[in-house]
A and B are shown apart, each in its own frame.
Chain A
């Protein structure tokens, strides 16, 4: 079974600085997806960034980038130029690609989350 571990329950960063959230996972699969989701106080889950395991290039989305180390099964999120609106819970998630229509494949397996506070 796949597991996702986020070892930092809480982190804080000053506005405009850079912070890195860590995530490790365990799987025997070779093809999979990894995600970072943000959950602000509204509790709406927002996709921040995704990474396909077969891609060696690290994904980036504006101020958000990942360091994907497949051999080490590590998938960290770097937030540059942190903003007050980045304050939220951040969840790392693993997904086996759905093989076909049906079954439980394609569901997300979440880590326990990291609470990030951006301070002015």
Chain B
């Protein structure tokens, strides 16, 4: 299958700072990317959907000013957690899709806010 690379795999940041997570499609053009959040021992919850060159569509209850998503090119989407707080600590996973094919997942990022 296609390869989606997500970086960093782990990040620790101080409360109040911002952290950026990158999601890259390595061998295909990702027209749509999805960002999920996963709490321990729970399922994946969709945070937002982004299409290249347009604003992301956020799910209900997700703060768009806190979780900034940029999808400026067909191979890169970024999620920036602004003014991070300990409750933002979680596992974040991206997935990428080309047109109407299935989506492929990145390796995930474990964010710890101290």
Residues of chain B with a CB closer than 8 A to A110's CB: 43-44
Interface size grouping (class) on chain B: 20 to 34
Scan residues 38-95 of chain A and give those whose CB is less than 8 A from a CB of chain B.
42-47, 50, 91
Q: Can you list, as one digit per residue, whether each of B1-12 has a CB less than 8 Å from chain A (1) or not (0)?
A: 100000000000
Residues of chain A with a CB closer than 8 A to B103's CB: 106, 108
A-B contact count, CB below 8 Å? 61
Contact A103 B43 (CB under 8 A): no
> Chain B residue with minimal CB distance to A108?
B103
- CA–CA, A33 and B57, complex, Å: 22
Interface size grouping (class) on chain A: 20 to 34
Q: Which label, helix, strand, loop or mixed, suits the secondary structure of the A interface?
A: loop
A60 to chain B, nearest CB (A): 17
Q: Can you list, as one digit per residue, whether each of B62-102 has a CB less than 8 Å from chain A (1) or not (0)?
A: 00000000000000000000000000000101010101101
Contact B91 A106 (CB under 8 A): no
Q: 27 A-B contacts, Cβ less than 8 Å apart?
A: A42-B107, A43-B38, A43-B91, A44-B105, A44-B108, A45-B44, A45-B105, A47-B102, A47-B104, A50-B102, A91-B43, A98-B100, A101-B99, A102-B51, A102-B54, A104-B49, A104-B57, A104-B59, A106-B32, A106-B97, A106-B103, A107-B46, A108-B44, A108-B46, A108-B95, A108-B103, A112-B43
Binding site for B on A (CB under 8 A): 33, 35, 42-47, 50, 91, 97-98, 101-104, 106-113
